[in-house]
Amino acid sequence: MRHLLGLLLLLTIAFTSCEGRKTQRQALSESIEEFKKTVHFETKVYIPETYLEQEIDTLMSNGFRVKIKTYADMSNAVRFSKIKDTINYQMHYRNFKFDISVTKDHKVIYNESFDKKKVNKAFNYNENLVSGSDLHHFDRLAVLKSIQVNDDPTYTNMVLIDIMYAIPETDRYAIHRMFIDNRGKSNIVQVEVK
């Protein structure tokens, strides 16, 4: 009888311990998944973080002097967002403004300032471009990547300036060349688009 009573006690303990409760690991895993569904964090990142300004003063071999000043437009940026885990990353790529001044024989022949609106018009970036065209979305998403003087010796009576705009987080870019002659007249030509 004692063996029967002992066996009954063992069976009772075995059945009560297997009541189907979740393990601590399962409970933690489910709790984390529920947390991810209900809580969202947002991180804003600005590139560049603070105001940035750069000036270049170039005396060319053909007698032209070119001054280019680029500076961050603190009120105009392109925003990209992506969600990773529970964090919504908001990437703000600031647009840049730039000023170009060209002198010849100590006389200013060209002096212009460009912002995003003026660049869109000059480079033919507009919202009416069809999807799939080379410059589609450049009006809204492209930011200045580089601007530099091109000291090509074959152009003796003009200045060449290469300007590159690109869409961040993609491999899309467009390079334009600005020609400024010795009378201060300018012309912009698209050189390459990817």
Give the model's pLDDT for residue 138: 87
Mean pLDDT (the chain) is 86
What is the rounded CA–CA span in Å between residue 116 and residue 142? Answer: 9
Distance of CA 189 to the CA centre of its chain: 24
**pLDDT by residue (tens digit) across 128-158?**
777 777 777 888 899 999 999 998 888 888 9
To the question of pTM greater than 0.85 for the whole model, the response is: no
Give the model's pLDDT for residue 18: 58
Average pLDDT over residues 162-184: 93
Query: What residues contact 146, with CB distance under 8 A and at least 6 apart?
Result: 162, 163, 164
Give the model's pLDDT for residue 1: 66
Name the most confidently modeled range: 36-40, 99-103, 124-128, 168-172: 99-103
Average pLDDT over residues 22-33: 79
Give the model's pLDDT for residue 16: 66
Query: What residues contact 145, with CB distance under 8 A and at least 6 apart?
Result: 164, 165, 166, 173
What is the rounded CA–CA span in Å between residue 97 and residue 77? Answer: 11
- Of the listed ranges 40-44, 79-83, 115-119, 142-146, the one predicted with least confidence: 40-44
Average pLDDT over residues 35-60: 85
